[in-house]
Each structure stands twice: as C-alpha cells, then as structure tokens.
Amino acid sequence: MNNFSNNLVNNFPEYLFNKINTQKQEARKEGRDVIDLGYGNPDIPSHSKVVDKLIESARNKKNHKYSVSKGIVGLRSAMKDRYKRIYNVDLHEEENIVNTIGSKEGLTHLLMSVLDKGDNIVVPDPSYPIHHYAPLIAGGTPIRIKCLDTNNFLNDLIEILNTTKIKVVLISFPHNPTTLTVTQEFYDRLVLLARKHNFLIVNDFAYSDIFFEEQRPPSLLYSDREFTNSVELYSLTKGYSMAGWRVGFALGNREAIQSLTKLKSYIDYGTFQPIQIAATVAINDLDAYPKEVSTTYKERRLLVVENLEAFGFKVCDSNATMFVWAKIPEFYKKTSMDFSLAILENSNVAISPGIGFGSAGEGFIRIALVENKQRIRQAMKNMQSFFDDNIK
C-alpha cells in the first residue's frame, strides 16, 4: 500500500484534547447538556459596527477579488497607529508589519521563515499546543523550559544560554494556559539577553487586550524600539471577540517580517478583503470594546475562582486572559486527564486537562470563561455535586 502521509506529522502524538472532545460529542448525542468550559472559543459577539462594515464591504464587487497576502495598506497603517497610540512604539507599515490569518498561521509560517533545520528554539512548558508543534513543523529543535513562574523561566533560560546556541525564544505573555503576566522589566532583561546571545524573541501577544484593574500588559516591542531582536504576534481574536474572522499580525524585526511576507506571497492571497476592511474599523474606532469584553471576563473569572477555591483548588492569581488556571486539590490522586474526563462524565462540564499543554501542566486544569454567568453558576453547581459524591 502506498504511504501518502508525512512521517513528521505521523510522529506527532494524538492531540490530547481529542479524548475530551470525543467524550463531549458522545454526551451531547445522548442528549446531555454539556457546559463547555474547555475550548477557548469566545461567546461574546463581535462589535456590530465591525459586522456592519463587513456586510457593506462584501456587497462591493471590487472586494471579491484576490487581496494582498501581507494585508491591505489601510489595515497595516491602522496597526501602526494603534501601536503608537497604545504602546508608544513606532512601526513602519511596509517594513515591520504583515497581516496573518490568525496568530497560529502567523507563528507557524514565521518560524518556517526564520528557522533552519535543527535550529534550537526555546518553548515554554506548559504552553498553547501550537507553540510545541510549530517549531517541529518548521524543522527546529524545541527546548522546553518550565513556565509556572516567570523568574524561574528567565533563570533557566540563562542557564541554557551558557551552554547552548539558541536561534529563537518563543514566549507568550499574558500566558495561555497559566494566565501569567510579566512586567516591562522582564522584557528589558530578555532583550538584553537576546542581544548578548544573538537570538530572536517571538512573543505571541494574543491575549494583550484582555486585562483587569487597568493593568494593561506591556508590549515586548517597547523594550526593543529598533526591533533588533523582537517580533510580536497580535490578534483581534480575543480582545475584539473576532475568533472566526482570523485577523492577526506579525510585527517588529524587519528581516523576520520581510522573510515571512515573502513566504506568505507563495502560500496565500491574504484574508478576504471585506474582513480586512472591517478589521480596520475595529482597530481605528473601537479601542473601548476590548475594555467591555474584559469586564465581562473579569465578572466570570471572579465567579469561577470563588467556587474553585471552595472546592480546594489553588488558583493562579492573574489580572489577564479569558482563562482560569488552577492546581487540582492534593486529595485527588489521579491525573489531570482522569480528572477532566470524570468531571465531564459526572458533571456534564468540559474543562481542559493541564497535561494537554505540556508535561509541566500535569496536576492543573484550565477553565475557559466562554459561557455566561448563569451557565457558569450551573457548571460550578454540577462540579460541587461531583466533589460531594466522589471526593470528600
């Protein structure tokens, strides 16, 4: 029999969340009302002004043609202005910005653009799954560093740099799944290391717009004003609640951005132009909307944290993201996957096991704040019954 599959992909382990997804689908086939707090798929609608602009633009036949793979000028100019307005960072729309089809596509193709086969790339563990596999797809060699504490992360990185040549350090703050955030000083120190050891920093900044208490997460690019060693990936997915629109950006180092732009010119013709036009409206006119979205997530977070702590979880303190990261109570002796499957089976609540984000995530769970407060209250009530019946 002919083998038409790729050996690299064949060697990828089974996507760990498939077990949860399969059981979730089976439960729904049985008519059970599963409350899904596992998949980080925003339930908050995109702003009506953006939707209206999409409809208007889609009716214009001129916008039905191929677009530009790097993004229309108006969209890239909007991002330039946004970074100046919010982070006081000066980007050039031609040299330092390229539109991507979401941050996953952007990250994967960026790493394909800058890594040669065998190049070492530091990856946080735990981390969003594509962070572990995009380096492999690009031919790199991932070196995992535990990311449960940001100071330890930097110390471990320094230790590795003393003995190993690193091409790229991949980070993502605010962090998914741990919800950790960093200060500008963290980036200052990291940029100094990058200049000393000549590596590129790639910051997946997908959760930059979801924050509480007026503590806006800092941008890596502010610590590297000349973009000598830095690229940041930005997305409208979470802050503007535009997940299905697939609008992202890679910004920063000229050589890396131009290399990504060149690669994309061979692969795609860019996002559907009406989406780009509508996204431009979001970036230019709707700075207040991510604040509204953040307020909703904050209210949901408080509700989840209060209940999890009552169950005996140790919750990671955080002022950002749309997730809650929590350590499973010590009295539960099984794995995070066992726990997540048991919660789904007995409580009709889907959550993400920490092991799905890397070995350092074992013993934790991640809850996505993607249901309204009434549904979250019901989910917590269901989980309470599980603890009452099976644990305590």
Residue in 216, 213, 137, 138 with CA at minimum distance from that of residue 182? 216
Q: Where are the alpha helices (DSSP H) in the chain?
A: 7-10, 17-29, 48-58, 73-87, 102-114, 129-137, 150-161, 184-197, 254-267, 273-285, 289-311, 336-347, 373-390
pLDDT confidence of residue 362: 96
Backbone φ and ψ of 259, nearest 5°: -65, -45
Identify the pLDDT of residue 55.
Answer: 98
Q: Where are the domains of the chain?
A: 7-46+289-390, 62-285
pTM: 0.94
How confident is the prediction along the chain (392 residues), in pLDDT tens digits per residue? 566 667 677 767 666 677 788 888 888 899 999 999 998 899 999 999 999 999 999 999 999 999 988 999 999 999 999 999 999 999 999 999 999 999 999 999 999 999 999 999 999 999 999 999 999 999 999 999 999 999 999 999 999 999 999 999 999 999 999 999 999 999 999 999 999 999 999 999 999 999 998 889 999 999 999 999 999 999 999 999 999 999 999 999 999 999 999 999 999 999 999 999 999 999 999 999 999 999 999 999 999 999 999 999 999 999 999 999 999 998 888 899 999 999 999 999 999 999 999 999 999 999 999 999 999 999 999 999 888 877 65
Q: Nearest-5° angle of CA 356, CA 175, CA 210?
A: 120
Distance separating alpha carbons of residues 329 and 363, to the nearest angstrom: 9
Q: Do domains 7-46+289-390 and 62-285 have the same CATH topology?
A: no
So what's the pLDDT on residue 331? Answer: 86
The letter for the amino acid at 96 is: N
Q: Look at residue 320 and give its three-state secondary structure.
A: strand
Q: What is the pLDDT of residue 54?
A: 98
What integer pLDDT is reported at residue 222 of this predicted model?
Answer: 98
Chain-centre distance of CA 319, in angstroms?
Answer: 16
Supply the pLDDT for residue 4. Answer: 62
- The distance from CA 288 to its chain's CA centroid, rounded to whole angstroms, is 21
Top-tier CATH class for 62-285: alpha beta
Report, at the CATH architecture level, how domain 7-46+289-390 is classified: Alpha-Beta Complex (3.90)
> 3-class DSSP state for residue 233?
strand
Q: Can you tell me the distance from the alpha carbon of 164 to that of 220, in angstroms, rounded to the nearest whole number?
A: 23
